[in-house]
A and B are shown apart, each in its own frame.
Chain A
Amino acid sequence: MLARCPVCHSHLQLEAIVQDEAARELLGVLSALDATLSRALVGYLGLWRPAKQDLRWDRALRLAREVLALEADPARLAWALSETTEAIRAKGGSTPIKSHGYLKRVLEGTPQSAGAGAVVPSEQVAPRAAPVKAPSATVDGVMRLEALKRRARGSDT
């Protein structure tokens, strides 16, 4: 069954998703996130899609993990992701982007309370959203292990 992603417009073959390990993992990661964050993340991943081909599942999974490791507050991250995506699209779609540099700069400028509903100007970020929930136990666990990996690798140097 062939479908088209409404966000990044790449082709989606559902059978391939089920069979591809990275695709399954990515879906697992996305489904474990708060809906606001997962939508913002998928939109951001769309910026990385090469002009003439689809974004590979393993690359999307790696990028998603990198993004989730940048910020522990899901609401703050969702806000920054949406701001980044909107800003880059507004510039005329200079995709694909090649680093998280812009996102990091937006994150630096995002107030800690951004996710608490105080500053959420974009409708794409939280369309009439309920208060953003804390990250799921799965994402929390994945992030804790990510931190452990960094510490452990650091202890080798």
Chain B
Amino acid sequence: MSEAAPGWLVAEVAAGLQRLLVLRLDGCPPADAVEAVALAWADALMVRGGGWQEALDAPRIREAFRRLAAHAMRWPAPAEIWQHMPARPEPPKLPAPPPSEEERARAMRMLAELREKMRIPI
């Protein structure tokens, strides 16, 4: 059984549903049911997603709702959000290791050969 959706996720879903609600799409839920709908959406995201982290995933969910609003012709099902969910940002890469003495020597040799072939004076 999946854990309960954290507050930030519920808040992001609620903000996304506000965006959809003002579009007045066909099939939108009645006003007195929107909170239950938001909680059901958040739970659906927990079941299928999981491992959510606010810093990494809140912007993705926001963007997904934005794209969903741009494409939806009628009130969407929670599963449709995944078609618009951007990938997580890649973690920053480690810097390339400095060349070893052996690699430096090999590079210098190759340069010298190149100069020789192209007859470039030193």
Inter-chain contact B30/A152, CB cutoff 8 Å: no
Interface residues on B, range: 20 to 34
Inter-chain contact B21/A25, CB cutoff 8 Å: no
Selected contact of B31 from candidates A28, A29, A140, A155, CB within 8 Å: A140
Selected contact of A142 from candidates B6, B21, B32, CB within 8 Å: B21
- CB-defined contacts of B11 to chain A, threshold 8 Å: 148-149, 152-153
- CB-defined contacts of B28 to chain A, threshold 8 Å: 141
Inter-chain contact B8/A152, CB cutoff 8 Å: yes
Task: Give the number of residues in A that approach B within 8 Å (Cβ atoms).
Answer: 22
Q: A28-B23, A32-B22, A138-B22 are in contact. Are A153 and B35 (CB under 8 A)?
A: no
- CB-defined contacts of B34 to chain A, threshold 8 Å: 141, 144-145, 148
Inter-chain contact A153/B22, CB cutoff 8 Å: no
Write the chain A residue with the least CB distance to B24: A138
Inter-chain contact A152/B10, CB cutoff 8 Å: yes
- CB-defined contacts of B10 to chain A, threshold 8 Å: 148-149, 152, 155
Complex CA gap A155/B9 in Å reads: 11
Inter-chain contact A156/B21, CB cutoff 8 Å: no
A154 on interface, CB distance cutoff 8 Å = yes
- CB-defined contacts of B18 to chain A, threshold 8 Å: 141-142, 145-146
B19 on interface, CB distance cutoff 8 Å = yes
Give B contacts to A, CB under 8 Å.
6-8, 10-11, 14-15, 17-19, 21-24, 28-32, 34-35, 38, 66, 70
Q: What are 26 A-B contacts defined by CB distance under 8 Å?
A: A25-B19, A25-B22, A32-B22, A137-B30, A137-B31, A138-B21, A138-B24, A140-B31, A141-B28, A141-B30, A141-B31, A142-B21, A145-B15, A145-B17, A145-B18, A145-B21, A148-B14, A148-B34, A148-B35, A148-B38, A149-B10, A149-B11, A149-B15, A152-B7, A152-B11, A156-B6
Give A contacts to B, CB under 8 Å.
21, 25, 28-29, 32, 137-138, 140-142, 144-149, 151-156
